[in-house]
C-alpha cells in the first residue's frame, strides 16, 4: 500500500470541481483501501490535486473510512503541508532552516514576494501563487532551498529567483521548468567504509535463506550491531523481543523522516542505497516473522517516491518481495513480506509504535 501520486501538472487547479474530487477520491480508495490508518494518504492525494483538502472530500472520507470529522480535521490541522483553504497553483515554500538562513534565505524570500506581488503565506488574488516559509527540507548541504508543489528546489540565488518568478507569471508547468532547479546531489565527498558502493547486495538475504532466522539473529548478536537512532539500542535484542512476542501480526517500520537541522543522511541512503535499505527490512522481517513493512517517507522527499517505487517493483519481480520469498533456498526461505511507502506531510512525528 503506497501513496497515490497526482501528476504535478494538475496541482492546485482554480476550483475543486465535484467531479474531479470524486475522481481523485475513487483513485485513492482503489489504491489505498478504506482502513482508518490510510487517512493521511487520502488527504495528501486531495492536497496534491487541489492545493488544499476540499470540504466535499473531507465529508466523503469521513463516511468512507469510518473516522470522525474531528479526527479528519485534526490530521489536516496537524500536518504543515495540508490545508483547508486553497493555496496557490504554485505553492512555493522557502526553507527556513538555520543553514538556509545563514545563506541568505530571507533576502531571497523578500525578492520573490516583491517580484510576484504577494505577502508571505497569503495566496495571490488570482490564485496562481503562494510564497511561504517551511522548516528544514533536508537540502541543508545545497541551500538555500525551497519546495514548489512539494518538489525540491536547490541552490537558490537571486538569478534563479528571478527565473522562478518569470516562470510562475508565465504559468509554466513544472515539467517545463529547468531541470537544474530540481537537481539534488548526494554531496558526499569522503564516503568512507560505510558509504562505499557495496557490491554484495542481497548477501544478507542469502544468509537468511541458507541458515534460517535463529542463526542470523545469533550472528547479529555476536557482531554487537546497534541502532543508529541515538540510543544505540542492541539490534539483536530488539529483534528478539519482536520475534518472541505472542501477537503474530508484526510490522517492520523504517522511519525515513529526518528534520534535524543539517541532517540529510536518510536522503543519501534512499537515493543511492535503497536496495540495501529494503534488503535490511526484508532480513528483519524474515527473522522476526513480519509480513508487512512500511517506509515512512518525509513529505519533503516526495521527489524520491517514483525512484523508491521502482526499486520495490524490481525487487518484487526478482522474487525478493511478495509471497514465498526464497522458497526452496534453505530453512530461512519461503516467507511472505512486502513493503509499502507511507508518505508524510510536513511533520517529523510519525509514531513508530
* CATH number of the domain enclosing 120: 3.40.30.10
Q: Are residues 60 and 17 in the same domain?
A: yes
CA 123, 124, 128: angle at the middle one, nearest 5?
90
Q: Does the residue 197 lie in any domain? A: no
Residue 106 has a CB neighbour count (10 Å cut-off) of 14
Q: What are the pLDDT digits (tens) for 92-103?
A: 999 998 999 999
Beta pairing class for 335-343 and 322-325: antiparallel
**CA pair distance 312, 275, nearest whole angstrom:** 8
Report whether pLDDT(192) > 50: yes
**CA pair distance 37, 83, nearest whole angstrom:** 19
pLDDT above 70 coverage of the chain, percent: 92
Instruction: State residue 9's pLDDT score.
Output: 40
Q: Which of 182, 214, 247 is the last residue of a domain?
A: 182
Q: Are residues 128 and 216 in the same domain?
A: no
Strands (E), the chain: 90-95, 129-134, 146-148, 151-153, 251-256, 292-297, 322-325, 335-343
Q: Which of 54, 78, 102 is the last residue of a domain?
A: 78
Total domain count, the chain: 3
Q: Which of 152, 182, 212 is the last residue of a domain?
A: 182
Q: What are the pLDDT digits (tens) for 270-317?
A: 998 999 999 999 999 999 999 999 999 999 999 999 999 999 999 999
CATH of the domain at 273: 3.40.50.11540
Q: Are residues 248 and 331 in the same domain?
A: yes
Q: Are residues 109 and 57 in the same domain?
A: no
Mean pLDDT, the chain, integer: 89
**CA pair distance 287, 243, nearest whole angstrom:** 7
Q: Are residues 174 and 213 in the same domain?
A: no
Show the domain range for 260: 203-343
Q: Does the residue 12 lie in any domain? A: yes
Q: Does the residue 140 lie in any domain? A: yes
Query: Which CA distances in Å does 21 have to 56, 129, 140, 215?
Result: 8, 21, 36, 52
C-alpha cell at 119: 505577502
φ, ψ (nearest 5 deg) of residue 337: -165, 135
φ, ψ (nearest 5 deg) of residue 213: -60, -50
Closest CA to 96 of 131, 129, 137, 149: 137
Q: Does the residue 158 lie in any domain? A: yes
| Whether 269 contacts 316, CB under 8 Å | no
Q: What is the pTM of this model?
A: 0.88
Alpha helices in 212-264 (DSSP H): 213-223, 235-244
Instruction: Give me the mean pLDDT over the 116-127 stretch.
Output: 95
Amino acid at each position: 500500500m503506497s501513496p497515490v501520486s497526482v501528476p504535478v501538472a494538475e496541482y492546485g487547479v482554480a476550483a475543486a470541481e465535484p467531479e474531479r474530487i470524486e475522481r481523485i477520491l475513487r483513485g485513492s480508495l482503489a489504491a489505498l483501501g478504506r482502513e482508518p490508518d490510510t487517512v493521511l494518504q487520502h488527504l495528501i492525494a486531495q492536497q496534491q490535486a487541489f492545493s488544499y483538502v476540499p470540504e466535499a472530500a473531507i465529508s466523503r472520507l469521513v463516511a468512507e473510512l469510518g473516522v470522525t470529522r474531528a479526527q479528519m480535521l485534526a490530521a489536516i490541522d496537524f500536518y504543515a503541508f495540508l490545508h483547508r483553504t486553497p493555496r496557490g497553483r504554485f505553492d512555493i515554500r522557502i526553507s527556513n532552516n538555520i543553514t538556509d538562513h545563514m545563506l541568505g534565505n530571507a533576502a531571497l524570500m523578500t525578492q520573490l514576494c516583491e517580484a510576484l506581488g504577494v505577502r508571505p503565506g497569503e495566496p495571490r488574488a488570482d490564485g496562481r501563487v503562494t510564497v511561504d516559509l517551511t522548516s528544514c527540507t533536508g537540502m541543508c548541504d545545497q541551500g538555500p532551498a525551497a519546495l514548489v508543489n512539494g518538489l525540491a528546489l536547490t541552490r537558490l540565488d537571486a538569478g534563479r529567483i528571478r527565473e522562478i518568478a518569470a516562470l510562475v507569471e508565465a504559468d509554466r508547468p513544472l515539467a517545463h521548468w529547468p531541470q537544474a532547479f530540481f537537481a539534488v546531489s548526494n554531496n558526499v565527498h569522503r564516503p568512507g567504509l560505510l558509504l562505499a558502493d557495496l557490491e554484495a547486495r542481497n548477501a544478507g538475504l542469502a544468509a537468511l535463506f541458507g541458515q534460517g532466522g535463529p542463526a542470523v539473529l545469533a550472528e547479529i548478536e555476536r557482531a554487537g550491531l546497534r541502532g543508529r537512532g541515538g540510543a544505540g539500542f542492541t539490534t539483536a535484542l530488539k529483534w528478539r523481543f519482536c520475534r518472541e512476542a505472542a501477537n503474530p501480526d508484526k510490522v517492520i517500520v523504517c522511519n525515513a523522516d529526518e528534520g534535524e537541522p543539517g541532517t540529510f543522511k536518510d536522503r543519501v541512503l534512499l537515493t543511492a542505497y535503497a536496495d540495501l535499505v529494503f534488503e535490511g527490512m526484508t532480513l528483519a522481517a524474515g527473522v522476526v516473522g513480519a509480513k508487512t513493512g512500511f517506509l515512512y517517507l518525509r513529505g519533503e522527499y516526495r521527489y524520491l517516491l517514483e525512484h523508491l517505487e521502482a526499486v520495490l517493483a524490481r525487487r518484487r519481480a526478482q522474487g525478493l518481495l511478495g509471497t514465498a520469498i526464497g522458497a526452496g533456498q534453505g530453512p530461512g526461505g519461503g516467507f511472505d513480506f512486502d513493503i509499502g511507502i507511507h508518505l508524510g506531510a510536513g511533520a517529523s512525528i510519525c509514531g513508530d509504535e
